[in-house]
Structure 1
């Protein structure tokens, strides 16, 4: 007896890879054989590039494509533009990709002759993919009183042709007609390319509005047009795995104490109750010059071959970072040379927010890093997304990194030099497990640095702030807790801090 699950599996249309793995993931597994799709977008959004990119990816696998157009652009002109892209290979034309203009047939003989031409070309070329560029131009040659009915008939016959011959059809259009139009209601999938020209951060975005029978990744996914063609970055918060609880210690599965990772600073480990709980995320926050990156460098320098580390920064080069570490007694160069520590610098201007996220995820996957320091991520991404999106992004990124077995330390700058009365950047602090505040304090006529733990997830910790110094031997915490009224008030605020920061 065939089970309902088996029946559903057998009824599911076979998929094929588009040549863009990220697009396939957004589509829930790739394009379906025998299905028809509308690819919509204003001029310049990359529709023609995307369609050709898919055609050449099929050619590389020995599959044929038929590219029909109703556009006025000549193929020689199109090839000249495509020639700058990595995927373009003139030797694949016409054996694997055949280009033809259908405009003269439609203009001189009408829509039925156009359908006949398509059938003839399919029989002769035997393609697995049909691209029809500018297909809405058909409407210009239809009787206005019968236009919608005739257009529905054309789409219906085209869809039947695709299903019978197991041909996937891409219908390209720059029309902005509403979603109730026949081209959107009768097809199997609808992909839209958007060009957001916001003055502070122009971006291109891809949206899959519809894909029958597929668990699509919803939302706007950023992309750029570069030498490989369209490079798509799925939203990192789409289908992100749920964060697993902190790793339990080797004492046994019944123990409620998580395993700990040394921060590389003995006094801070003592305040934390033995180090950072493994598999958690930590925010080291403070004003400029307070020592945030120094804490990250200590965590980095504690890496071992069994616990490799990754430092992700946006402003300092690897050479400057290792020199900075050497100035406080941390020798990173041997660790970098051995591959135990990897330093990744991402330019702060240019990358898209999800591009940044995926570069970090890929670096952790490639290095197997168990210790990850991300220096200034929230500040870098602040201009790339609104508050709600940024919070979702940071949370999902941490979920993915923790899921890969990493313990993550973020640094985050706050404006207050002294102990802040509140931490308003709640989109960041609410998503981390542990928070260490570095701040300045007045001690008589002198200014000193102090460290105060605000929260440690599911764990007790030292609630008293401690003064610290950055020396040639690293960051050194005083063993005595702060005293006095001002320090006592800071400690009291620290105890209530987790509520203030979400």
Structure 2
């Protein structure tokens, strides 16, 4: 079994299958500003000891003084460790005067003198231009890797590599692990992405994982993609009320515990209100509920709730409000799952899916996340209600552009109808998985009591 080097971040170690290989060579690749230096120093200060110190070696890309100045602004930077367990050295002058042979000699000297457990060379890519030819650079790599292996040193080679370097640069073949840090653009949004390109002798989480940079270092949010799971799905075979008696009757007794429900309809039709009925009904029955919303901030939502004699001060309600601006889907999902686990919630409302879709970047990524999220909730017997806005006010012809309705156990459609010189609201239960349901179109009104269902529309009534 390969020994691991922890990063200080449980989520990053999860992506790496437990951590980076100890005593291996890790290539940190990314454009300037992607956080390579921050991540490298995060590893150093988290693992350096007086007995197995860490070396940070700068070359000719960034002055050592600048690295130290910016490093001191980070939470993990421990000035008391400098000179005892963490050592910095500048190879720039040696590189300019004596080239790669001089650098190799200086590194060999430092290895013997300091006996480090970790070493960073930043920037490693800058060394390549000092080789007399490709063969000389390969010999330098071979000799350096041999010395690091003989001394059992975990090393990080930091460089401003791009996609073309992966097939051409020989250091990619030498490295035991390769981490790519990049930035993806979708319209006006920017999203930082970490990807494991190589991890010798170990499994890891594939795909792109978003991350943020902060004074605490690199905070990674692993991609949520649950495959088919062997665990049982829920243990409670029971119906739970949606909070509206007449709708419970249409659903043949309510929703199944642990099921997922999609409520689709145009703006103002009452989607959020149906979700609030569901959450506050659960709170009255002693079931904690989470309202995850991007639509109304706490002040707006409290104003709405007061009109129906509800309140966010209810001890059984947890509000998770996030702005849709600069939203990372990965970050939101992990925050959501943490909130659900912390509160012990049995019912959750996500209002709305459109905001999550905008943060996803692409349709496939969005569908994978929704599928994985619903599967996790189903296994834990957590009932999920989601809202989805449709663009058509009248005569709705499709529910969603994202293919989410087939993932839901229940699908309810709200729509506006014209009649008697006034707009009417109508509700239809389109789907209840594994259950019979009332398929009639029912008129409903929004009153001080919330949603009140009326009679079904007569066969001869115009529904245009």
- TM-score of the pair, normalised by structure 1: 0.85
1:210 is aligned, of 192, 198, 221, to 198
Q: How far apart are residue 485 of structure 1 and its match?
A: 4.1
Q: Does 1:128 align with 2:104?
A: no
Structure 1 unaligned residues grouped into runs of 5+: 1-11, 250-257, 491-502
- Aligned counterparts of 1:297 and 1:137: Cα–Cα separation in 2: 58
Aligned residues of 2:329 and 2:359 also touching (Cα < 8 A) = no
CA offsets, 1:182-240, max 9 Å, x none? 11112111111112344432222111111012212111222222232222222122x46
- Aligned counterparts of 1:242 and 1:87: Cα–Cα separation in 2: 38
Match of 2:271 in 1: 292
Q: How far apart are residue 465 of structure 1 and its match?
A: 1.9
1:247 is aligned, of 212, 216, 234, to 234
Q: How far apart are residue 60 of structure 1 and its match?
A: 8.2
Aligned residues of 2:327 and 2:359 also touching (Cα < 8 A) = no
Q: Does 1:484 align with 2:459?
A: yes
What is the correspondence of 1:324-339 to structure 2 with a 5 Å cutoff?
A: 324-329=304-309, 331-335=310-314, 338=315
Q: Does 1:467 align with 2:443?
A: yes
- Aligned counterparts of 2:416 and 2:380: Cα–Cα separation in 1: 36
Q: How far apart are residue 334 of structure 1 and its match?
A: 4.8
Aligned residues of 1:241 and 1:400 also touching (Cα < 8 A) = no
Q: How far apart are residue 384 of structure 1 and its match?
A: 4.1
CA offsets, 1:42-96, max 9 Å, x none? 1121111111122122248986311112125333222222233222222221212
- Other structure's SS at 2:340 match: helix
Question: In the superposition, relative to structure 1, how do residues 140 and 385 fare at CA in structure 2: closer, same or farther (>3 Å)?
Answer: closer
- Aligned counterparts of 1:62 and 1:345: Cα–Cα separation in 2: 47
Question: In the superposition, relative to structure 1, how do residues 63 and 341 fare at CA in structure 2: closer, same or farther (>3 Å)?
Answer: farther
Q: Does 1:307 align with 2:287?
A: yes
Match of 2:22 in 1: 33
- Other structure's SS at 1:328 match: coil
CA offsets, 1:420-443, max 9 Å, x none? 123352422232221111111233
Q: How far apart are residue 151 of structure 1 and its match?
A: 2.5
- Aligned counterparts of 1:468 and 1:410: Cα–Cα separation in 2: 20
Match of 1:150 in 2: 136
- Aligned counterparts of 1:427 and 1:243: Cα–Cα separation in 2: 25
Question: In the superposition, relative to structure 1, how do residues 61 and 326 fare at CA in structure 2: closer, same or farther (>3 Å)?
Answer: farther
Aligned residues of 1:34 and 1:164 also touching (Cα < 8 A) = no
Match of 2:355 in 1: 379
CA offsets, 1:422-478, max 9 Å, x none? 335242223222111111123333321111111111222111121111111121112
- Aligned counterparts of 1:117 and 1:56: Cα–Cα separation in 2: 23
Q: Does 1:437 align with 2:413?
A: yes
- Other structure's SS at 2:456 match: coil
Structure 2 unaligned residues grouped into runs of 5+: none
Q: Does 1:161 align with 2:161?
A: no
- Aligned counterparts of 1:373 and 1:97: Cα–Cα separation in 2: 48
Q: Does 1:220 align with 2:208?
A: yes
- Aligned counterparts of 2:431 and 2:50: Cα–Cα separation in 1: 54
- Aligned counterparts of 1:116 and 1:248: Cα–Cα separation in 2: 65
Question: In the superposition, relative to structure 1, how do residues 219 and 64 fare at CA in structure 2: closer, same or farther (>3 Å)?
Answer: same
Question: In the superposition, relative to structure 1, how do residues 468 and 369 fare at CA in structure 2: closer, same or farther (>3 Å)?
Answer: same
Q: How far apart are residue 243 of structure 1 and its match?
A: 9.0
Question: In the superposition, relative to structure 1, how do residues 325 and 63 fare at CA in structure 2: closer, same or farther (>3 Å)?
Answer: farther
- Aligned counterparts of 2:62 and 2:419: Cα–Cα separation in 1: 74
Question: In the superposition, relative to structure 1, how do residues 334 and 49 fare at CA in structure 2: closer, same or farther (>3 Å)?
Answer: closer
CA offsets, 1:286-317, max 9 Å, x none? 11111111111111102247521100111312
Q: Does 1:119 align with 2:94?
A: no
Q: How far apart are residue 380 of structure 1 and its match?
A: 4.5
- Aligned counterparts of 2:436 and 2:335: Cα–Cα separation in 1: 34
What is the correspondence of 1:32-181 to structure 2 with a 5 Å cutoff?
A: 32-59=21-48, 64-144=53-133, 147=134, 149-176=135-162, 177-181=165-169
- Other structure's SS at 1:282 match: strand
Question: In the superposition, relative to structure 1, how do residues 359 and 416 fare at CA in structure 2: closer, same or farther (>3 Å)?
Answer: same
2:250 is aligned, of 271, 287, 298, to 271
452-461 or 441-450: bigger deviation? 441-450
- Other structure's SS at 2:189 match: coil
Match of 1:9 in 2: none
Question: In the superposition, relative to structure 1, how do residues 264 and 370 fare at CA in structure 2: closer, same or farther (>3 Å)?
Answer: same
Q: How far apart are residue 360 of structure 1 and its match?
A: 1.0
- Other structure's SS at 2:398 match: coil
- Aligned counterparts of 1:205 and 1:286: Cα–Cα separation in 2: 34
Tell me the number of residue pairs that the alignment of Structure 1 and Structure 2 aligns. 461
- TM-score of the pair, normalised by structure 2: 0.92
- Aligned counterparts of 1:112 and 1:43: Cα–Cα separation in 2: 27
2:334 is aligned, of 358, 363, 378, to 358
Q: How far apart are residue 16 of structure 1 and its match?
A: 2.1
Question: In the superposition, relative to structure 1, how do residues 466 and 161 fare at CA in structure 2: closer, same or farther (>3 Å)?
Answer: same
- Aligned counterparts of 1:295 and 1:156: Cα–Cα separation in 2: 66
Question: In the superposition, relative to structure 1, how do residues 229 and 316 fare at CA in structure 2: closer, same or farther (>3 Å)?
Answer: same
Match of 2:370 in 1: 394
- Other structure's SS at 1:484 match: coil
